[in-house]
Amino acid sequence: MDVHSQNVIGAKARPELIRASGITKRFGEILANDGVDLTIREGEIHALLGENGAGKSTLVKILYGALEQTSGTIAWKGKEVSISNPAAARKLGIGMVFQHFSLFEALTVVENIALALPKGEKMADLAERIVEVSNRYGLPLDPKALVADLPVGIRQRIEIVRCLLQEPSLLIMDEPTSVLTPQEADELFKTLFRLADEGCAILYISHRLEEVKRICHHATIMRHGRVVSECDPTKETPATLARMMVGEDVHAVKSDHTGAVGDVLIHLDNVSLEADSTFGVALKNISLDVHAGEVVGIAGIAANGQSELFDVISGERLVHENKSIQLLGSEAGRMKINERRRLGAAFVPEERLGHGAVPGLVLSDNVVLTRHSTGDHLIKKTVVNKSGAENMEKRIKVSYDVRMSHDNPEARSLSGGNLQKFVVGRELDRNPKVMVINQPTWGVDAGAAALIRQALINLARNGAAIVVISQDLDEIYEVADRIAVLSRGELSAPEPAQNMTRERIGMLMAGMGEANSNQQEVQHDATGA
Amino acid sequence: MRLVLEKRAEHSRLMTVVSPLLAIGLSLIAGSIMFVMIGVNPAEAIYAFFIEPLTSTWSLEELVVKSAPLVLIAVGLSVCFLSNNWNIGAEGQFTMGAIFGSIIPVLFHGFTGPLALPAMIIMGALGGMFWASIPAFLKTRFGTNEILTSLMLVYIAQYILDYLVRGPWRDPDGFNFPESRLYEADHTMWMLGDGRMHFGAIFALVAVIAVWFMLTKTIKGFEIKVMGQTPRAGQFAGFSRKGIVWFSFLISGAFAGIAGIVEVSGTIGQLTPVISPGYGFTAIIVAFLGRLNPIGILFAGLLLGLSYIGGEAAQVTLGMTDKTTSVFQGMLLFFVLACDTLILYKVRLVKPQPTAGGAHERV
């Protein structure tokens, strides 16, 4: 599969498709976009790069008509247009595949697609068109399959095919590979190349620099709401791209694998858990030992049991057998979350706002949230010691560089990266012996991510046992001493990180090649329909 | 030009105080329009409603009589609403408290002495808790919507009361009127002042202070707020979802039940088919107008109590129907909820997009 065989020459000569000039968007005090210029040419794969909060999503939403710019103009094929809503965008020929899918799980593929299209087409005709279009672009789909039964990679295909049916001239894709295995991503790239060859432009939003270098013809880089540079990514390295995004060199995380490990502090023995709803994931016979001094990374694609595994170790959901989970030598399967915390365990869930922190409470109250019964003297005879909590908040703010507009604000006013530093810092401040963290740097800027990853490694080197659950393979490689893969509620045996190649992880993510045979089945069904 | 609601980064402290006042102002304006429409001079009507009752001792005492149950019930409801439990059935819990508390003066009227009244109040609290425990059980066990169950139980409680005073509990010496026997002196609240004001108002004050302390200072108050705003985070903090449903229903049931028995033994002196002008429902407005804060509820309770007395006065002096009071209270709730939006959002006027040309402000 040679994906480098793209014809980059002549990209500049292509006619302009869309030109946005001086786009400014103000949200109250904040300038999300500040005089942004962007030009996309026909048949071009154009990368939009930037850290979280750089203004990429705002710009894209303006192009797709979901937001209205405060000022600035958009020209489509040389003519000035006003894109007042997504329907107008689709009419022009702009399609968008969102990072978070908007599919109804209880409906079939064809029903989901019909909902997004103008009325009047017969279901049977539409199903035929779906099969035809999806096969033409190498994205086979079975129109009659129920969305709930389909893996994430296939669901993304539905979104893409839904856009393709409207024959777009510009396809916007927001972080499309974040939910895919490396193999699935390669398939997607082939489709994108085919589309580009046919003259369709693609605006590709990603923070995966390797990928951008590999497939994009042109890149626009944003920082703090402005375009800071444009380049030909094929002529750059990931490191130079990262520097343009962040504006400075990103600190490399130092891990120095020692190899020396201590006692088993987290012991899972054949842990199983039923799915709590139709769309939940059941855990099947999960066994895992994590030793003092090491970080075990758990890779996997979204919704393969990550949050269930987290809940079972944290005690938000209890297992039947007390002895099937042991923390720091104590049987803990039936223990509640605060009892586990008192043993010396700490937990950081995936969702910062709404799980790890209460949006409407000030930070010092959010300190009380997880530390009210961990022996930190925050409660005296049922009365909350507010000044004690405020002191802790200040300490966490200083130690973990949490930036805020004024002292002790409500959690919801913090940016993603700062809130994550706070939520992680709140637990690290306790000096835990066991730490379980789900998606430690999801949606966090590169600087904060490096700080958090380094803090986790340092904690392990000081004798803690750490589990990092992450969908970001780069992150797993950066922090983990051993790697296991979670797929459909089953956990592979952890292996030393240096022995795990990306290909091997990809196979394990897909459930040992099981997904491949599935795909063939779908293809077969689709052609037979 | 169009109006846009823009989310604030944090809630506005100023608006937290201003929004209820704004709501009162808007209700007065809308109320004036209503008065004009029914052919009454709005200035006179507002004077009759809200000023005149404050000019005599009798009506000031009556204000305490009407406000005390509102405040007591609303304080309990604030715990429910803060924890996201929608107990709409305080009226039923009030009625059940009155019935349970009345077991002593009606069936065991020989039981007198200093312990009789405290026993009645405990029975009243238990009656309210019992009635509130039904929606709590249905919600925790079967996931039933508590708005429907608690509301429906109001009517059941009222029919039970109606049955009792017309049937088994009817006063044998009462000339067949649907009323229970009159309570003994030991079974009635101590009177204060010249009118109907009695000791029962103390319960409201104690409840205000106790619940204020619990909500602002203790870990229980913290739990109530967290579970109400973000149950997932509450679970992460180790709080129990079912526990908070039970706690909030039982405490609001107990308060409503005490309000019920206090009303019957203090203000009325016997059980009658109708023992409340809708205190349990009006208390919902009181709770929200007071921003679910016990101190705020104290003032909101006085205002709504005033609207009851003012409604009666307006009936006499201006010949207005007593429905006016309900309409007024309804408008107040409507505006309170609407104005609450301003706490998390600000309103902005947006001019339409200027046409191309003048919009290029490169920075």
Partners of residue B229 in chain A, C-beta under 8 Å? 358-361
Identify the domain containing residue A286 by its residue range.
252-344+432-529
Strands A383-384 and A434-438 turn out to be unpaired
* Residues A365, A320 share a domain: no
B352: pLDDT confidence band, cut at 50, 70 and 90? low
A354 close to B (CB below 8 A): yes
d(CA B179, CA B171): 6
Helix (H) or strand (E) holding A102: none
pLDDT score of A8: 45
* Residues A487, A525 share a domain: yes
Q: Answer whether residue A390 is part of any domain.
A: yes
B363 close to A (CB below 8 A): yes
Q: Are A126 and A68 in contact (CB under 8 A)?
A: no
* Residues A492, A407 share a domain: no
B210 close to A (CB below 8 A): no
* Residues A335, A440 share a domain: yes
Where a domain ends, among A412, A430, A448? A430
CATH architecture of B65-345: Orthogonal Bundle (1.10)
Q: Which residue has the higher pLDDT, B175 or B206?
A: B206
- Residue A303: which region, alpha, beta or left (left: phi > 0; alpha: psi -120 to 50)? left
Strands A79-81 and A94-97 turn out to be unpaired
Partners of residue A369 in chain B, C-beta under 8 Å? 226, 233, 236-237
Q: Answer whether residue A106 is part of any domain.
A: no
Q: How far is CA A318 from the centre of its chain?
A: 27
* Residues A320, A361 share a domain: no
pLDDT score of A511: 67
Question: Chain A: nearest CA to B6, how far in angstroms?
Answer: 8
CATH number assigned to the domain comprising residue A460: 3.40.50.300
* Residues A423, A474 share a domain: no
Q: Answer whether residue A240 is part of any domain.
A: no
**Would the CB atoms of A372 and B232 count as touching at under 8 Å?**
no
Where a domain ends, among A408, A430, A452? A430
d(CA A238, CA A218): 14
Where a domain ends, among A387, A408, A430? A430
Q: Answer whether residue A275 is part of any domain.
A: yes
Q: Chain A to chain B, count of Cβ pairs less than 8 Å apart?
A: 99
**Would the CB atoms of B10 and A413 count as touching at under 8 Å?**
yes
A268 DSSP 8-state letter: E
A377 DSSP 8-state letter: S
Question: One digit per residue, pLDDT tens: chain A, 529 residues?
Answer: 344 444 444 445 688 999 999 999 987 667 889 999 999 999 999 999 887 667 888 899 899 988 889 999 999 998 999 998 888 898 899 999 876 677 888 899 999 998 888 777 888 899 999 999 888 888 888 888 888 878 777 888 888 888 888 889 999 998 887 777 778 888 889 989 999 998 999 999 877 777 888 899 999 998 888 898 899 988 888 778 877 877 766 666 666 666 567 899 999 999 999 887 666 788 999 999 999 999 999 998 777 889 999 999 999 999 999 999 999 999 999 999 999 999 999 999 988 888 999 999 999 999 999 999 888 889 988 999 999 999 999 999 999 888 887 889 999 888 777 899 999 999 999 999 999 999 998 777 777 888 899 999 999 999 999 999 998 888 898 899 999 999 889 999 999 988 888 878 877 877 654 444 344 444 444 444 3
**Would the CB atoms of A382 and B219 count as touching at under 8 Å?**
yes
**Would the CB atoms of B11 and A410 count as touching at under 8 Å?**
yes
* AA identity, residue A225: G
* Residues A417, A301 share a domain: no
* Residues A440, A487 share a domain: yes
Domain residue ranges of chain B, discontinuous segments joined by +: 65-345
Q: How many domains does chain A have?
A: 2
A355 close to B (CB below 8 A): yes
Partners of residue B353 in chain A, C-beta under 8 Å? 68-69, 82
Which residue in A has a C-alpha nearest to residue B225's C-alpha?
A361
pLDDT score of B97: 97
* Residues A340, A263 share a domain: yes
How far are the Cα atoms of A359, A360, B226 from residue A409, in angstroms, in the given order?
Answer: 10, 9, 16
pLDDT score of B128: 98
d(CA B64, CA B70): 10
pLDDT score of A52: 65
* Residues A365, A327 share a domain: no
Residue count (chain B): 363
* Residues A425, A436 share a domain: no
* Residues A335, A310 share a domain: yes
A120 close to B (CB below 8 A): no
Q: How many DSSP H helices and E strands does chain A contain?
A: 17, 23
Q: Answer whether residue A486 is part of any domain.
A: yes
Question: Chain B: nearest CA to A70, how far in angstroms?
Answer: 7
Listed in sequence order, the DSSP H helices in B144-230 are 146-166, 201-217, 219-229
B225 close to A (CB below 8 A): yes
